[in-house]
């Protein structure tokens, strides 16, 4: 985890993993659909709702998490439309503010939402209690709407200190347990410690790194999707 700690320390002055100048990823999946094998019109909708790690920061239109996850699912015989709702720099507070809008404007009710926020809270030093409250509110909203969730976790950078880590790291497994949702403990597992899978900033995955993420998430998505396959 040494690379992880060093990389996040570099991101600390930016106060966000990603840049506000980077255009927000569209919540439309038109680009991915255009460049991917045909997906049936009635295929279940999966919304990938997160930050730059979901948005495909500095990657091509087919290289972000949504298109690569859609392709991984299709390779397993599961046709699902994965919509990119990642926004670089998003905190849990920002995500909480836009979640209802994204859900209300989805073409159909999502069969599953991947929820991946919290990394920018940690990098900004936002109190873990606030992060927990925002994630809790989003999970409560998704539960109220009857939408299954796959929660992807984040880990505190070592430079944040052990006290912060003791409060931050348990947020994700504890909320996953509280709401009974599917859970992937660390979104950058087996990626952030391999420089060949990271962009030059050592903060964001490159296309190969995203592929590792997608391959790891695909089985969990398949399990969480109602009547998948």
Q: Angle 95-110-70 (CA atoms, 0-180°, nearest 5)?
A: 90
Specify whether 194 is catalytic: no
Nearest to 39 by CA among 81, 90, 2, 95: 81
Per this entry, what is the length of the chain?
Answer: 229
Specify whether 189 is catalytic: no
DSSP 1-28: -HHHHHHHHHHGGGTSSS-TTSPPPPS-
Among the options 29, 51, 52, 157, which is catalytic? 52
Q: Angle 32-71-19 (CA atoms, 0-180°, nearest 5)?
A: 50
User: CA of 143: how far to CAs of 53, 98, 184, 187, 216, in Å?
Assistant: 24, 16, 18, 22, 24
Among the options 29, 90, 157, 204, which is catalytic? 204
Specify whether 52 is catalytic: yes
Catalytic positions are: 52, 201, 204
């Amino acid at each position: 985890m040494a690379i992880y700690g060093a990389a996040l320390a570099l991101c600390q002055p930016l106060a966000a993993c990603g840049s506000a100048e980077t255009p927000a990823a569209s919540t439309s999946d038109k680009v991915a659909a255009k460049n991917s094998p045909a997906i049936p019109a009635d295929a279940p909708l999966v919304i990938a709702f997160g930050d730059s790690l979901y948005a495909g920061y500095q990657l091509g239109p087919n290289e972000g998490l949504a298109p690569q996850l859609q392709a991984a699912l299709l390779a397993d015989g599961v046709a699902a439309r994965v919509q990119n709702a990642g926004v670089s720099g998003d905190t849990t507070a920002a995500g909480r503010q836009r979640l209802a809008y994204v859900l209300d404007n989805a073409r159909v009710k999502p069969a599953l939402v991947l929820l991946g926020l919290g990394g920018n809270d940690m990098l900004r030093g936002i109190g873990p209690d606030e992060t927990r409250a925002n994630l809790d509110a989003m999970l409560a909203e998704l539960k109220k709407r009857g939408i299954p969730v796959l929660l992807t976790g984040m880990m505190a950078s070592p430079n944040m200190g052990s006290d912060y880590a003791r409060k931050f790291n348990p947020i994700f497994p504890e909320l996953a347990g509280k709401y009974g949702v599917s859970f992937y403990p660390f979104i950058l597992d087996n990626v952030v410690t391999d420089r060949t899978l990271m962009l030059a900033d050592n903060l964001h995955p490159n296309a190969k790194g995203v592929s590792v993420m997608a391959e790891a998430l695909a089985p969990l998505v398949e399990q969480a999707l109602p009547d998948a396959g």
